[in-house]
Amino acid sequence: MFNKKGLVLIGIFLLVIFFASPGSFPATAASSGSGGATSSPPIIAYFYGNSLSSAQPSPYCHIEGGTVLAICYTPQDLKAAYDFPSTTGPNGLTGAGQTIVIVDAFGSPSVQSDLNTFDTAFGLPSTTIQIVCQGGTCPVFNPSNGDEVGWTEEIALDTQYAHAMAPGAHIVLYVATSDDDFVLAQAVQSAISMFPHSIISQSWGDPELDLLTAPSSYVSAVLSTSEAAYQQAALQGTTVFASAGDWGADNSPFGFTTANPEFPSSSPWVTAVGGTEGNPYYLGSIPSCTGSTCSTGLVKFLNNPSCQLNTPNPTSAASCTPVGYGGEQVWNEKAFDAATGGAPSLLFKTPIYQLGLGLTNRTTPDVSYNAAISGGVFGYWSAIPTAAGFYLFGGTSAGSPQWSAIAALADQLAATYHRGTIGFINPALYLIGHVPFLYNQDFHDITVGNNILASSPDHVGFSAQPGWDDASGWGTPNVSHLISDLALFG
């Protein structure tokens, strides 16, 4: 099998928050280039500390040695902003009876213990992750391999946020033996066959132009294996998500100057998840809070004295209550030179569900989710024990597992209607998008921003506009409304 030469792939910078020492953990790349696959972050993993002062800390945290003020969110914050349904009561939804399969490379020695610590910190019910390794033998973790270390961070983010948003769902971590494109394609194929009627999450990808640098026989093997698997998934009622990437429309850090999306998010049989950030966006400043509620970008909080929203340095453990949605724009954080992927495919023609949008090729993303770094989410990671602690994660990696959780909630709701799983959801998403009444209640339409990476030499990218666009897709979910329609139309 041919292995392409590697590029310098996604960098994960581990910097200090609140001057806490992360030990000797090195800066890493999130994937090797052994086969060109890239992990769509966690693009930035800033060290927060070994413990949190409360399960609902202040939405402010300091990064880069305590010099820059950022917004940081908990699972409860995201649930309030995106209107996730209650997990309790007669109509409570947790994803019970559903299976989310997370496909990642190399594995992590701390995945279960990290999830346990995360659950305790945020008051979530515990669960046991089922680990399945490609070929039946799990890789042995090499802590000196930056590529493998980066994937353990990815695994922590994926498992913790799939579980947080659908705490009753069964979580499977399917471990590929490497991050070679073809090996990952085979892993996905195996996972889809092994877990029919499940939800598959893929927080990784390869720019199409990178994939196309390989010999045609290798490209053909990757695409034929992947597409056969994704079509099988659609036929058997399995839902598949993939992150759209973090380097703008052209993936220019890899040397490209032409718009191209990441594969597998560009597959017509996959739901591509792009990224958003808060609107207003805060970095190095705090909102001016004068009313009863205060927007920190994505999330609105009650503006009470115990939350201390008017000070960037709370003097005691915060008691902040998230109450709803603030606003969003396309994820494009110039300070970090990161922006959501999204572009017309160079590999696939327009699928039926995208007809009517004036497209000539399959174009991503289909939907979006919070991907901000300032506005990132807390996760716990301890694969390197000397660097164990809570980290602030950002990037489109956060979106794929959380959309998988949304699908699990919709599947559970569909079961109450005596229906099967929602399965391949793109036709339903585009149906909803074309019906104004449904669209307005099911999605937050993103109309501000673009995905032109700050460092792109050719400034290639796309702007948000009303309705669907190739910077944000249909936008971000209003989950309680959306899952009802997915359960009916999916």
Cis amide prior to 167 (ω within 30 degrees): no
Distance (Å, whole) CA 201 – CA 271:
10
Q: Assess if residue 118 is contained within a domain.
A: yes
Residue type at 475 in one-letter notation: G
**What's residue 35's pLDDT?**
52
How do 299-302 and 293-295 pair as beta strands? antiparallel
Query: What per-residue confidence (pLDDT) applies to 18?
Result: 28
143 CB-contact burial (10 Å; exposed 0-12 / middle 13-18 / buried 19+) = middle
| Torsion (CA) 243, 249, 252, 258 in degrees, nearest 10 | 130
> Are 181 and 221 spatial neighbours (Cβ–Cβ below 8 Å)?
no
pLDDT at 306: 86
Contact 392, 377 (CB under 8 A): yes
396 burial class (0-12, 13-18, 19+ CB within 10 angstroms)? Answer: buried
The CATH number for 460's domain is 3.40.50.200
**Domains identified in the chain, total number:** 1
Residue 340 and residue 244: Cα distance in Å, rounded?
Answer: 7
Within a domain: 1: no
Kindly give, in sequence order, each residue whose CB lies less than 8 Å from that of residue 340, ignoring residues fewer than 6 positions away: 244, 245, 246, 248, 274, 275, 276, 330, 331, 332, 365, 368, 371, 396, 451, 471, 472
**Domain for residue 79, yes or no?**
yes
Q: How far apart are the C-alpha atoms of 370 and 239, rounded to whole Å?
A: 20
Q: Are 34 and 180 in contact (CB under 8 A)?
A: yes
Asked if residue 315 belongs to a domain, the reply is yes
Q: 2 lies in a domain? A: no
Q: What is the pLDDT of residue 37?
A: 53
**pTM attached to this predicted model:** 0.93
Angle between helices 426-433 and 479-489 (to 10 degrees): 120
* Residue 50 located in a structural domain: yes
| Beta-bridge mates of residue 315 | none
Confidence at residue 43, expressed as pLDDT on a 0 to 100 scale: 59
What pLDDT does residue 42 have? 56
Q: For residue 301, which phi and psi values (nearest 5 degrees)?
A: -120, 155
Six token digits for residue 111: 């995945």
Q: Residue 188: which of 202, 198, 168, 169 has the closest Cα?
A: 202
- The closest alpha carbon to 318, from 340, 303, 298, belongs to 303
Q: Which residue has the tokens 């029919």?
A: 196
**What is the chain's pLDDT, residue by residue, as a tens digit (490 residues)?**
223 322 222 333 333 232 222 222 222 223 323 354 554 445 567 888 788 878 888 898 888 777 889 999 999 999 999 999 999 988 899 999 999 999 999 999 999 999 999 999 999 999 999 999 999 999 999 999 999 999 999 999 999 999 999 999 999 999 999 999 999 999 999 999 999 999 999 999 999 999 999 999 999 999 999 999 999 999 999 999 999 999 999 999 999 999 999 999 999 999 999 999 999 999 999 998 888 999 999 999 999 888 889 888 777 777 899 999 999 999 999 999 999 999 999 999 999 999 999 999 999 999 999 999 999 999 999 999 999 999 999 999 999 999 999 999 999 999 998 788 999 999 999 999 999 999 999 999 999 999 999 999 999 999 999 999 999 999 999 999 999 999 998 7
With beta carbons less than 8 A apart as the criterion, state whether 241 and 201 touch. yes
* Cis before 287? omega within 30: no
**How far from the centroid of its chain's Cα atoms is residue 133's Cα?**
22
Report yes or no: 26 and 381 within 8 Å, Cβ to Cβ: no
Task: Count the residues in the chain.
Answer: 490
Residue 44 is assigned to a structural domain of this protein:
yes
**Nearest one of 410, 400, 374, 475 to 157, comparing CA atoms:** 400
Assess contact for 307 and 43: CB atoms under 8 A.
Answer: no
Q: How far apart are CA 126 and CA 476, in angstroms?
A: 28
Range of the domain at 243: 11-489
- Residue 111 burial (10 A CB sphere; 0-12, 13-18, 19+): buried
The pLDDT assigned to 15 comes to: 30
